[in-house]
Structure formats: structure tokens, C-alpha cells
């Protein structure tokens, strides 16, 4: 399974876009990239996932580079409630680790007024 | 739907005692996951079930830990005997796993376990 690297922390001003990078240079062709976030004292919450195309939903956008070695989660207009730890995880849909997500240390995003 | 339900929300016990954590997944979900979260090790997958069958228990730390899923609506994680290093927040998650490509997991509120 691919390993991921994320910056330990980032700051963002309220109302501005938050761009959270994730490096997954060893990702294989059938591994998806999943993003979750964890607000203090709560369970993690699914945000978005993708394979090779950019994706957008009501929460965020996911930009995956053409070589798939990295991706960026974009929160277009960050609010104070977006302050959380953000995790990216590879997901192998067809391998022996079927069903298994791997959460690293994540990025602590702090949105300030 | 009420979401994933875990009980108890908080558990304080003494070393050597048996601890049982409970989870009720979202109705209709066919996969269930148990995670442990500590400051030192982050969020670790302990075991997961698909259609009530354990698929991967490689994350279970040792024989003191056991998990069961007797039916689609209930799972337990048992620690016997408990040790102070087991103190952590334990999360249960469920997923509809509708096709291999989809793995959105819905997490419960967690059980905060303290072993004295």
C-alpha cells in the first residue's frame, strides 16, 4: 500500500481557500485517495475521494496530479468549523487490503478569524 | 438513522479487569471497523468485518484483544485483562461498501477508555 506524507499543520484565514497537500508518490494504479477529517473529540468524517480525475462535492474539491503522486484537498471558503485534523489515505479497491484505510498523522488545519 | 452507536462513551477501569466495548452499525451497512486512537500512535485500524466475517485482524495488538460480530447489527471489542497502555479512544465505523471502489466509513462517537 502507498504511504502518504502531509504537512503537520497549516493555517488559513476565515473565508479564504484552504489548500491541503498530500504526497503519495508510491501509489499504485488501482489505489484511490480518500480524505477524512476529524474535528476535536469526534470520530473522523468522510470528505471526498478520487482515483485520477478531479472531484468536487458539497464539502470540497480534490485535485489529483496527472502522475497521481500527489493530491490537494481544497476547502473553497474555509470557516471556523473547518478547524480539524485532515487525513489523506490510499485505498486499494482490489488488493489484499481490501476495505482498509490507513490514517497517518494528518494535517492540523487551524482557521482563524 | 441514528448513525453508528457506541457504548459506553466513557469507561474507567482498573488494570486486570475485563472491558467490553459495544457497537451498533448503521442499518444496511455490511462492513464494520474497529479503530484505536492515541496521541502517540494516531488512528490505528484494529480489525474489520465484512458481512459479519472478520477480514483482517492484523491490527489487533495481542491476544488480550478479541472482537466479535454475532449479527449484522452488533459488534463487541473485548480486552481481557486490560492494561494501562490500552487507554485510548476506541472508534467503531461502518460502511455500505457498495462495490469495491466505494469505502465511505461512518464513524461513531467513540469510547474513551481509561485503565488505571
* Rounded mean pLDDT, A67-77: 95
* Rounded mean pLDDT, A90-99: 67
Task: Say if B25 is an interface residue toward chain A (CB within 8 Å).
Answer: no
Interface mutation target, options B26, B43, B45, B90, chain A, most CBs of A under 10 Å: B43
Give the burial class of B41: count Cβ atoms within 10 A of its Cβ; 0-12 exposed, 13-18 middle, 19 or more buried: exposed
Per-residue pLDDT tens digits for B21-56 = 999 999 999 899 999 999 888 899 999 998 899 988
Whole-number pLDDT of residue A16: 97
> Are the Cβ atoms of A44 and B106 closer than 8 angstroms?
no
Q: Chain A: give the shortest CA distance to residue B9, in Å.
A: 12
Taking a contact as any Cβ pair under 8 Å apart, which residues of chain B between 4 and 23 contact chain A? 4
Residues of A in contact with B109 (CB under 8 A): 42-43
- Residue A92: band (very low, low, confident or very high) from pLDDT cuts 50, 70, 90: confident
Cβ–Cβ contacts within 10 Å for residue A96, how many? 9
Distance CA B88, CA A107 (A): 20
pLDDT beyond 70 at A51? yes
pLDDT beyond 70 at A4? yes
Per-residue pLDDT tens digits for A102-111 = 888 899 999 9
* Rounded mean pLDDT, B89-108: 82
pLDDT beyond 70 at A7? yes
* Rounded mean pLDDT, A29-57: 92
A35 CB-near residues (< 8 Å, 6+ apart): A22, A46, A47, A48, A49, A60, A62, A73, A86, A87, A88, A89
DSSP-assigned beta bridge partners for residue B33: B48, B93
Interface of A with B (CB under 8 A): 32, 34, 36, 38, 41-46, 49, 51, 87, 91, 93-94, 97-106
Q: Return the residue of A nearest to B110 by Cα.
A: A43
List Cα–Cα distances, A62 to A10, A73, B56, in angstroms: 17, 5, 29
Per-residue pLDDT tens digits for B5-25 = 999 999 999 999 999 999 999
Q: Is A80 helix (H, G, I), strand (E, B) or coil?
A: helix
List Cα–Cα distances, A105 to B44, B48, B86, in angstroms: 11, 21, 20
* Rounded mean pLDDT, A31-55: 92
Amino acid at each position: 500500500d502507498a504511504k502518504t506524507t502531509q504537512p503537520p499543520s497549516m493555517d488559513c484565514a476565515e473565508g479564504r481557500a484552504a489548500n491541503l497537500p498530500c504526497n503519495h508518490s508510491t501509489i499504485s494504479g488501482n489505489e484511490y485517495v480518500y480524505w477524512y477529517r476529524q474535528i476535536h473529540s469526534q470520530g473522523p468524517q468522510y470528505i471526498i475521494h478520487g482515483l485520477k480525475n478531479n472531484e468536487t462535492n458539497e464539502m470540497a474539491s480534490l485535485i489529483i496530479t496527472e502522475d497521481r503522486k500527489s493530491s490537494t484537498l481544497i476547502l473553497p471558503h474555509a470557516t471556523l468549523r473547518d478547524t480539524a485534523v485532515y487525513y489523506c489515505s490510499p485505498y486499494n479497491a482490489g488488493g489484499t487490503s481490501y476495505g482498509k484505510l490507513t490514517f497517518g498523522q494528518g494535517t492540523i488545519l487551524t482557521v482563524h478569524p | 438513522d441514528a448513525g453508528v452507536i457506541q457504548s459506553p462513551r466513557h469507561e474507567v477501569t482498573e488494570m486486570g479487569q475485563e472491558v467490553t466495548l459495544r457497537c451498533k452499525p448503521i442499518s444496511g451497512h455490511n462492513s464494520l471497523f474497529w479503530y484505536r486512537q492515541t496521541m502517540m500512535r494516531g488512528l490505528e485500524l484494529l480489525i474489520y468485518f465484512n458481512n459479519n466475517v472478520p477480514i483482517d485482524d492484523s491490527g489487533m495488538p495481542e491476544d488480550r484483544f478479541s472482537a466479535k460480530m454475532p449479527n449484522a447489527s452488533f459488534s463487541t471489542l473485548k480486552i481481557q485483562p486490560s492494561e494501562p497502555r490500552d487507554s485510548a479512544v476506541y472508534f467503531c465505523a461502518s460502511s455500505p461498501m457498495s462495490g469495491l471502489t466505494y469505502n465511505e466509513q461512518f464513524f461513531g462517537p467513540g469510547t474513551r477508555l481509561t485503565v488505571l
